[in-house]
Amino acid sequence: MASSILSRHLASSLRPSLGLSASGYRHQQTPAKRVEEVEFDGPCMKTEVPGPRSKILAQQLAIQSVVQVNFFCDYEESKGNYLVDVDGNRMLDVYTQIASIPIGYNHLALTKVMTDPKNMVSTLGMMPPEQFSEKLVNDLMAVAPKGFSRVQTMACGSCSNENAYKAIFIWYRVRMRGTPEPTPEEVRTSVINQVPGCPDLTLLSLMGGFHRRTLGCLATTHTKAIQKLDVPSFDWPIAPFPQLRYPLDQFERENAQEEARCQEEVEDLIVKWNQKGRHVAGVVIEPIQAEGGDNHASFDFYRKLRGITKKHGCAFQVDEVQTGGGSTGKFWAHEHWGLDDPADIVSFSKKMLTGGYYQKDSFQPDKLFRIFNTWLGDHTKNLFLTEVIKVIKTENLLDQAKRTVWSFVDKYPHLLSRARGIGTFCAIDVKDEDTHNNLLLKARNKGKTLSMDCGTQSIRFQSALVFTEHHAHLFLDILNDASLSSSRVYTGIQCGPAQTDPYTVNLQRRG
C-alpha cells in the first residue's frame, strides 16, 4: 500500500504545523508564500454560488443548450489557484475543471503563447506545421513514460481511448492472423460490420473504471448508471476492482486477500472468454480509479495485472487521462509501480491539454489511415503543453506535488473516512450522498470549488500543480468551516472592497 503509506507520511509531516484542535482543524500560521506566487492572498466571497449573474446566464443558456453548469467564470480575473466567477466571487480551486488546469489560471507562460499570431489553427493529420515534429520530439517524447518510443496526438480523452482501443484490436488481430494482410472475406465483411472483418474481440475493464463516454469507451466505463443507461453497449468482460478497507495498516491481511481475489478474477475471465472464442485483446485500467470515487489499489496489484496480460498475450492499456501530467508527484501515476515495461499503451488528456496516447512500436498499424481523423489534436494545445512542461520543470512542480497533501479525517470520524491519495491526487469519503452534496455546496460558498461528480460519497481533491502548502492550509480552513456549519445557507466571507485592495482579505486573519 505504498500509495497510502506515502499519503499518511505526508499527512503526518504536515499535521504538527496545522494546529489541529479537538473541536476541529484551524490553521494558525500560514507559511510564507513562495516568491513566484503572484496570485491572490485568499478566497473572497461576495454572493452565494451560483450568484445572481451566473443564474441569469444559466437561464439564457438553458433555453438553447444542455446545461450542467455550476457557475460562470471570469477567466480574465482568475489567477493561479483562484477561480473568479462572474459575480466577483474568488474561490480556491481544488478541482481545476476536472483536473484539467495544469499550472493554474493565466500563467504568464501560456498567455505569451496565446497572443503570438504565429500560433494559428491547423490540422495535424496530413499537413502539420513545421514545428510539429520538433514539438513531438522535444516535448511529448521528453515526458514519455519508460519504454515508449511513439506518440499519437488526439483532440480529447474520448478520442484518445477510442483510438487506443482500435490500435489494440488491430495489433491483436494481426497476431492472430499471422499477417497484416486481410483475406478478401475480411475486406468484404469489415465494411458491413460483420465477422471476420469486424472480429468479435473484447476488452477487459474493471468495475468502477471510467474510460470516458463515447460508445467504445463507454463499454469499458462502469461508474454511474446515468452515464450508460439507454445506450447500447458491447458485451465485454468486467472484473472486480479491489474494495480496500481503511485505515490500510489495520486491514493489511483483508486487503491483500481482496486484491488476490480480483487478480484471480481477471485471469479467469481472460481464460474463459478466450476459450469461448471472444478473445480478450487487451485490459484497460486507471492507475487510480478517478471518477469512480478515487479508488486506489496497491502498486503490487497493478504489477501483477501487468504480469497477467503478458502471460495471456493481451495488451495492457493504462488510462492516464486524469492521473497523468504530474498530480501524483510523478509525471505519470504508473511510474510509482517501478516497472521497466509497465504498459503497451498509455493514454492522456486533461492536464496534458492535448489528448493522445503513447504506444509501443508494435502497436503502430501496418498501413496509413487505419488510425486517423481530420484534426488529430490541436497544434495550439501542443504549444501550450510545451510551456506547461517547461514550467513544471523550472518551478519544480513535481516535487511540490509530492509535498502538498491533506489530513482531515481524524477530526471528523462521524463524518469522514478513507482518506487516500498520492501527491495532490487525494480524496476522502463522507458518510452518505446527502452529507456529500451538503458539504460540497457549503464549501463552495465558503470559497472553494470541489468535485461535484465522483462516486456518491467521495470528495476529490484535484488541484493545479501550482498548489502549495500555503493553499493546503487555506483549503483545510475552509473545509473545517464548511463541515462545522450547520446549514447550507450562504453566510458570506468578509472581504475588503475589491476595487481598492483585492488582497486585504486572507483567511488567516479570520482565525
Restricting to residues 130-189, name those near a copy of itself by CB under 8 A: 130, 132-133, 136-137, 141, 149-153, 155-159, 162-163, 165-166, 169-170, 172-174, 182, 186-188
Do residues 151 and 144 touch, judged by C-beta distance below 8 A? yes
Which one, 21 or 122, has the nearer CB to a copy of itself? 122
Catalytic site positions? 210, 319, 350, 374
Which one, 30 or 160, has the nearer CB to a copy of itself? 160
DSSP-assigned states of every residue in 230-273: TS------EE------SSGGG-HHHHHHHHHHHHHHHHHHHHHH
The answer to whether residue 273 forms part of the interface with a copy of itself (CB under 8 A) is no
What is the footprint of a copy of itself within residues 453-482 (CB under 8 A)?
Answer: 453
What is the footprint of a copy of itself within residues 281-300 (CB under 8 A)?
Answer: none
Among 231, 260, 271, 484, binds a copy of itself (CB under 8 A): 231
What is the per-residue binding string for a copy of itself in 209-228, x denoting contact by CB under 8 A? ---xxxxxx-x--xxxxxxx
Among 452, 485, 488, 504, binds a copy of itself (CB under 8 A): 452
Which one, 74 or 300, has the nearer CB to a copy of itself? 74
Contacts 24+ apart (CB under 8 A), 170-175: 170/365, 170/370, 170/371, 171/281, 171/315, 171/344, 171/362, 171/363, 171/365, 172/201, 172/279, 172/281, 172/282, 172/314, 172/315, 173/199, 173/201, 173/281, 174/366, 175/313
Reading the block at residue 406, the C-alpha cell is 491533506
Planar angle of CA 364, 367, 368, nearest 5 degrees: 90
Among 16, 117, 178, 413, binds a copy of itself (CB under 8 A): 117
Beta bridge partners of 280: 202
Which one, 198 or 339, has the nearer CB to a copy of itself? 198
Do residues 321 and 212 touch, judged by C-beta distance below 8 A? yes
The answer to whether residue 375 forms part of the interface with a copy of itself (CB under 8 A) is yes
Minimum CB distance to a copy of itself, residue 165 (Å): 7
What is the footprint of a copy of itself within residues 18-77 (CB under 8 A)?
Answer: 53, 57, 60-61, 63-76
Phi, psi of 124 (to 5 degrees): -110, -10
Minimum CB distance to a copy of itself, residue 185 (Å): 11
Which one, 100 or 438, has the nearer CB to a copy of itself? 100
> Given its phi and psi angles, is residue 222 left (phi above 0), alpha (psi -120 to 50 degrees) or beta?
beta
What is the footprint of a copy of itself within residues 75-94 (CB under 8 A)?
Answer: 75-76, 83, 86
